[in-house]
Amino acid sequence: MPDHDFKSPRLYVDAPLVAGVAVPLDRDQGNYLGNVLRLTTGDRVLVFNGRDGEWQAVIAGRKRPDALEIQSQSRPQGTLPDVTYAFAPLKHARLDYMAQKAVEMGVAVLQPVITRHTQVSRVNTERMRANAIEAAEQCGILVLATVAEPLTLEKWLAGRDASRLLVFCDEASDVAGPVAALQSAKPNGIDVLIGPEGGFAAEERDLLKRQPHRLVLSLGPRILRADTAAVAALALVQAVLGDWRV
């Protein structure tokens, strides 16, 4: 277990973090610290920006928290494994959950992919980024996952680096032993793809199977919901090829 401070509140700020500087808080951040957490001037929090590590800071302000005085670094900036999570977007709360869990599992990029059977036609990337920030705040993560704009499956496949390993999770696959299959891979970056609730269309499955450096996996004998499949697939990848081995 890393030596993290899980007791102090953590806040993401989009500003450079250097000892001695004051970082202004926006209204929502001030409300969160003052009215939700009941913190006031002089109380301490931890802050991060995804670039400069984690820092100890002191709340400043007269009537309500309106700034943070940056004091000293508590943890240096880390990195994330080179894992992209590509997924067919879900509706509302389940998409929120999936984005949060993917961030907790350590993905570097969240890539919405529109397929034939995708349930939603529009994706709120700002909401997804807010969920990514919230997950990072709560779980001690220092690197913010990049939230990419949605692409059709065909455009994403055409534009991705073909030297990367494509882990394609397919409920119709007869490939057994996902751990052994992953152990045989030598990836130059990993793209994990989870399809929609209705599965991939036949032509999409054929297109995926024609991709170089692709690994088709089954996630077991049971049909998983897409958000559950995300956690299962990312756990496998992180345990066998990712930073869980450290």
Helix (H, G, I), strand (E, B) or coil at 85: strand
Is residue 203 within a helix (H) or strand (E), and if so which, with residue range?
helix 202-209
What's 23's domain CATH number? 2.40.240.20
Assigned domain for 1 exists: no
Query: For the segment 47-106, what is each residue's pLDDT rounded down to a tens digit?
Result: 999 999 999 999 998 878 999 999 999 999 988 999 999 999 988 888 999 999 999 999
Strand partners, 173: none
* One domain, residues 222 and 109: yes
What's the rounded Cα separation, in Å, for the pair 66 and 53?
Answer: 22
Provide the Cα torsion 195, 149, 215, 80; round to 10°.
Answer: -120
Helix axes 92-104, 226-240, angle to 10 degrees: 10
Domain that holds residue 95: 83-245
Query: For the segment 194-233, what is each residue's pLDDT rounded down to a tens digit?
Result: 988 888 899 999 999 899 899 888 787 788 888 888 998 9
* One domain, residues 124 and 186: yes
Q: Which amino acid is at 158?
A: A
Starting from the edge strand earliest in sequence, which strands make up the sheet with 22-24, in order?
A: 10-12, 44-48, 54-60, 67-75, 22-24
pTM higher than the cut 0.95? no
